[in-house]
């Protein structure tokens, strides 16, 4: 299982410099990948293009970009431009539906027929990423366009997928799925069997399963879980994440956070590998600097095979 790093944003004018510093340190520490969310701060592809162009080697991924606010042709153009900036084969495009609360209440788009929207979105996005013009008239997406954007390499797409239809779509059309707030039992018993069976039925290679969770090495797991419960409370309320927490038998995000001393955290990460995750992305949330250093030290040890 590859170990990746969830990137944290600074909310000031030094945000891009700070991002490049995180990438540089992550690459030096041996992390296989680094992932940036696209929520209300930095625009993820632009930020990764700027910061990633300064740091070679490490895979760069978006986790994830919402589809509704961007036409798939525009997203393809952005992704290929960012891939050109960072170098061949380094960019992975994670996309997702986001949530009805965000898409309807904040952006003002309809969240009707989300699975159909994503299928039609991919009918435009994927060919354009491969350099093929499209002519698509769906019920939610329309496009008659080709792009002349230079292509450094194919940009693989991962789909944030939790419902069965979305997992099948991820298996049939993309390189795999990227998860958040999904615990090891759910990965083992639901995510991996569903997406793997769908890929096999479609004659596709085994899909990538990227599992991102909060992680903290600490001597006070009770306090750390309380902190996780407060910091990530919203994810216990959004329906798609709530469904995954329910499958896990978790009351809230605090219950799926990877927390404990070095042995306990290492065991929990190993459980994800045994469950079939191909990648673990560490969202380090320790507020205490000593715990942050312990967490980073353990992750480096795991990466080194210790």
User: Is pLDDT at 51 greater than 90 in this prediction?
Assistant: yes
Phi, psi of 255, deg, nearest 5: -80, -20
- Rounded to two decimals, the pTM is 0.97
Phi, psi of 112, deg, nearest 5: -70, 145
**Cα–Cα dist 155/168, whole Å:** 20
For the chain, give the percent of residues with pLDDT over 70.
100
Q: Report pLDDT digits (tens) over 237-291.
A: 999 999 999 999 999 999 999 999 999 999 999 999 999 999 999 999 987 999 9
Q: Report pLDDT digits (tens) over 207-243.
A: 999 999 999 999 999 999 999 999 999 999 999 999 9
Domain ranges within the chain, ordered by starting residue: 2-303
* Start-end of H helices in the chain: 15-28, 44-52, 72-86, 100, 114-129, 164-173, 184-186, 192-201, 221-231, 239-248, 262-275, 289-303
Q: Which two tokens stand for residue 213?
A: 């969770």
Q: What's the confidence (pLDDT) of residue 88?
A: 86
**Cα–Cα dist 57/28, whole Å:** 10
Query: Which of helix, strand or coil describes residue 208?
Result: strand
Average pLDDT taken over every residue of the chain: 97
**Cα–Cα dist 61/129, whole Å:** 15
Q: Report pLDDT digits (tens) over 118-141.
A: 999 999 999 999 999 999 999 999
Pick the CATH number of 2-303 from 3.20.20.30, 3.30.70.20, 3.40.630.30, 3.40.50.12780: 3.20.20.30
Q: Report pLDDT digits (tens) over 244-253.
A: 999 999 999 9
Q: What's the confidence (pLDDT) of residue 306?
A: 66
Q: Report pLDDT digits (tens) over 195-208.
A: 999 999 999 999 99
- 208 - beta bridge partners? 176
User: Is pLDDT at 160 greater than 80 in this prediction?
Assistant: yes
């Amino acid at each position: 299982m590859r170990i990746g790093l969830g990137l944290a944003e600074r909310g000031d004018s030094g945000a891009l410099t700070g991002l490049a510093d995180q990438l540089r340190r992550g690459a030096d520490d041996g992390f296989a990948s680094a992932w940036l969310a696209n929520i209300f701060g930095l625009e993820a592809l632009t930020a990764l293009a700027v910061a990633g162009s300064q740091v070679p080697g490490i895979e760069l991924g978006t986790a994830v970009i919402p589809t509704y606010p961007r036409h798939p042709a525009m997203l393809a153009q952005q992704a290929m431009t960012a891939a050109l900036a960072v170098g061949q084969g380094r960019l992975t495009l994670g996309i997702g539906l986001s949530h009805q609360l965000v898409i309807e209440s904040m952006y003002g788009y309809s969240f009707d027929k989300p699975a159909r929207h994503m299928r039609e979105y991919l009918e435009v996005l994927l060919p354009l990423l491969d350099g093929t013009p499209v002519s698509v008239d769906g019920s939610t997406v329309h496009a008659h366009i080709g792009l002349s954007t230079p292509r450094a390499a194919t940009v693989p797409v991962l789909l944030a997928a939790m419902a069965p239809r979305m997992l099948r779509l991820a298996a049939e059309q993309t390189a795999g799925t990227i998860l958040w707030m999904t615990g090891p039992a759910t990965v083992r018993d639901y995510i991996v069997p569903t997406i793997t069976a769908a890929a096999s039925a479609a004659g596709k290679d085994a899909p990538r399963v990227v599992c991102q969770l909060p992680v903290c090495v600490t001597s006070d797991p009770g306090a750390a879980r309380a902190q996780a419960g407060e910091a990530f409370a919203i994810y216990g309320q959004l329906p798609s994440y709530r469904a995954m927490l329910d499958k896990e038998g978790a009351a809230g995000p605090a219950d799926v956070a990877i927390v404990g001393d070095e042995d306990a955290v290492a065991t929990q990460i190993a459980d994800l590998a045994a469950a079939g995750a191909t990648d673990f992305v560490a969202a380090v949330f320790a507020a205490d600097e000593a715990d942050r250093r312990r967490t980073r030290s353990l992750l480096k040890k795991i990466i080194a095979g210790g």
